[in-house]
Structure 1
């Protein structure tokens, strides 16, 4: 039944999603070129509120839980499992006060209304996965901007989306590059569940009436742990929260 409803509701969702991108592209341009970073960021935040709202056109729901007393004005590296592109708008909207920047494929920085403009001018990192030197350079530049501006970042250490909701192995390379230039950053795991089900059948039809959930977990001070050790800690905490395993690593055991 959900798949059948997807044939009916997916076009409605895509129309809403696409209209938001088209409408906010010139708004972003004006905000960025006439009023600067703050206005541009605000326009991007509002855009992602609308993009998140388009999920409800499918009957899907968004629950974002953040019970952590996270500092504002200190760089934070949010590390999340990655299930679909539908992970991103809620992260941008609900983490907006932390100025969270994203690491994206360089291919996305061209040709997509609103999204490409923000990737070019929003302060994140656009990496070429085929050029390791370029990718590391972009991450180092992002870490520098985080340090200088007290911005945060969202990274998906699995490297690719999980198509069945199972958390893949976390890699520490991106985290290490950011910490190299922004060692004061706080590490914060974010557990995402059920967004993979939206694209369970592919891009069409989208799945319907899915309860998607994001939860910010307890922060981790980097201390003397290596990036790979920190990635293991975060991976185990997210897996434990999602019921995929018992915790395999703790901060005390690795520091």
Structure 2
């Protein structure tokens, strides 16, 4: 039945999603050009709250649980498992107080209303996966901006989306690069559940009546430890929360 309702409700969701992207393209441009970073960020936060609301047009709902007392005067590297593109709007919206930036493929900086513009001017890192030197440079610049502005970032260390919700092995290279420029950053794992179910039938139809869950887990201090060790700890905490088997040591 979820798939049947998906055929009916997916077009409504996509129309609303697309209209929001189109409407907020000029809004973002005006905010950034006329009023600068903070106004632009505020417009992006509103956009992503509304994009999240379009999930409800499918009968889906979103829960974001953050019982952690996270500092807003310190950079944070939010480390999350990755399930679909529908992970992203709720994270941008709910992590707004920490100025969370994303690492994106450079191809996304062209051709997508609102999204491409935000990637260009929003302060994140846009990497070319075919050019390791460019990727490292972008991550170093992001780490420097985090340190200078007390910004944060969201990283999906799996490197690709999980199609079945099972967490893949985390890679530490990106986090290690950022920590070189922002060594005092706090590591905060986020466990994502059921976002993969929205696209379990592909991009059409989208699944309906799913419950997407985002849970912020206790922070991890780096304390000059190797990035690989810290990332493995974050991976273990996420898997433990999701009830998935831990990789053998």
Task: Quote the residue 1:253 is aligned against.
Answer: none
Task: Please list the CA deviations of residues 184-233 of structure 1 after superposition, one character each: whole Å capped at 9, or x if unmatched.
Answer: 10000000000000000100000000001000000000013211111110
* 1:218 match: secondary structure: coil
* 1:10 match: secondary structure: helix
Task: Quote the residue 1:104 is aligned against.
Answer: 104
Task: Quote the residue 1:216 is aligned against.
Answer: 216
Task: Quote the residue 2:245 is aligned against.
Answer: 245
Measured in 2, the distance between the counterparts of 1:23 and 1:73 equals: 33
Q: Which runs of structure 2 are paired with 1:220-231 in the superposition (5 Å)?
A: 220-231=220-231
Task: Quote the residue 2:85 is aligned against.
Answer: 85
Task: Quote the residue 1:44 is aligned against.
Answer: 44
Measured in 2, the distance between the counterparts of 1:80 and 1:33 equals: 32
Residues 240 and 247 in structure 1, CA contact (< 8 A), matched pair in contact too: no
1:9 equivalent to 2:9? Answer: yes
Q: Which runs of 4+ in 1 moved over 6 A?
A: none
Query: Structure 1 residues 247, 224: CA separation in 2 closer, same or farther (over 3 Å shift)?
Result: farther
Residues 2 and 208 in structure 1, CA contact (< 8 A), matched pair in contact too: yes
Measured in 1, the distance between the counterparts of 2:23 and 2:156 equals: 28
1:160 equivalent to 2:131? Answer: no
TM-score, normalising length: structure 2:
0.99
Measured in 1, the distance between the counterparts of 2:20 and 2:7 equals: 21
Measured in 2, the distance between the counterparts of 1:171 and 1:64 equals: 25
Measured in 2, the distance between the counterparts of 1:247 and 1:220 equals: 19
The alignment yields a C-alpha RMSD, in angstroms, of 1.0
Task: Please list the CA deviations of residues 107-135 of structure 1 after superposition, one character each: whole Å capped at 9, or x if unmatched.
Answer: 00000000000000000000011111110
* 2:171 match: secondary structure: coil
Deviation, structure 1 residue 96: 0.2
Q: Which runs of structure 2 are paired with 1:65-214 in the superposition (5 Å)?
A: 65-214=65-214
Residues 62 and 212 in structure 1, CA contact (< 8 A), matched pair in contact too: yes
TM-score, normalising length: structure 1:
0.96
Gapped regions of structure 2 (runs ≥ 5): none
* 1:54 match: secondary structure: helix
Query: Structure 1 residues 248, 214: CA separation in 2 closer, same or farther (over 3 Å shift)?
Result: farther
Measured in 2, the distance between the counterparts of 1:248 and 1:144 equals: 35
